[in-house]
Amino acid sequence: KGQLREEGHLNLDELSNEAWRTYFRFTQQEVERLVVVLQIPHPIKGRNRILQDARTGLCMLLARLAYPNRLSDLALKFGWRVERVSEITNTLLDFMVYKWKFLLDFNHHFFTPERLSAYAKAIHDKNQCPLSTCWGFIDGTIRQIARLLHYQRTCYNGWKRKHCLKYHAVVAPDGLIAHLFGPVEGRRNDAHLWQESGIQRYLEQYSHTTNDIPLQIYGDPAYGISRHLLSPYQGASLT
């Protein structure tokens, strides 16, 4: 067992800084700060009365999200039963969605006109980009799922030729996700997600400079062009 396996369970305090980064994508200090900032309950209480301390529970979830791990892999890593890892990570994930899901919409308290203007300047300054009012980028992405027993066409994406769920996101130049929408059926196109997400309403209200000059996001030709949306000419061949 050794120091890393106190009573058979993973001793997080004995992990090196490199191991924390590798397993959880955060340092020990950052994880402990996240526990406080995200207001994670201590202990985490599963539906089957399983209790887990907040830090270990968050590490389980981070490890699960950091890489496509099987539950059996995480159980071996942490030294707990598969059922415990599954219950704790799902309980914590449900809590996170319930508590913080509002941040997936456009958070205008964070993405202020000053911040959006700074994003636009950063994009403009990069390699002398001709765009001076573009602050972010929008695109869709898919996540493959198993083929359904019924209504298979609903989730079938003809372009990717697979059954999937679809999302779209607006990403700022510093890597922050300003807006996330989904999932929807895989057969839907980007224009449908644009309409259903309500992002246009947020942009009309908040996507401008302090002088009320409109700022835009940039997407592929499927999104079209509007006051707050830019896209290239469809079918254009650049030389």
39-78 residue pLDDT tens: 999 999 998 889 999 999 999 999 999 988 889 999 999 9
Same domain, 21 and 92: yes
Q: Does 236 reside within a domain?
A: no
Specify the number of domains making up the chain: 2
**Residue 46: how many CB atoms within 10 A of its CB?**
19
Classify residue 96: in a domain, yes or no: yes
- pLDDT over 70, % of the chain: 95
175 and 94 belong to one structural domain: no
pLDDT tens track for 67-76: 888 899 999 9
- Identify the domain boundary among 52, 82, 102: 102
Q: Are residues 142 and 203 in the same domain?
A: yes
**C-alpha angle 60/66/67, rounded to 5°?**
105
Domain that holds residue 76: 5-102
Percent of the chain with pLDDT over 90: 70
* pLDDT on residue 9: 86
Nearest in space to 56 (alpha carbons), one of 94, 97, 9, 112: 9
pLDDT interval class at 21 (50, 70, 90): very high
User: What is residue 2's predicted lDDT score, i.e. its pLDDT?
Assistant: 39
In this structure, is residue 238 part of a structural domain? Answer: no
Round the average pLDDT of the chain to a whole number and report it.
90
The reply to whether 107 falls in a domain is: no
Note whether 61 and 153 are same-domain residues. Answer: no
Q: Are residues 165 and 223 in the same domain?
A: yes
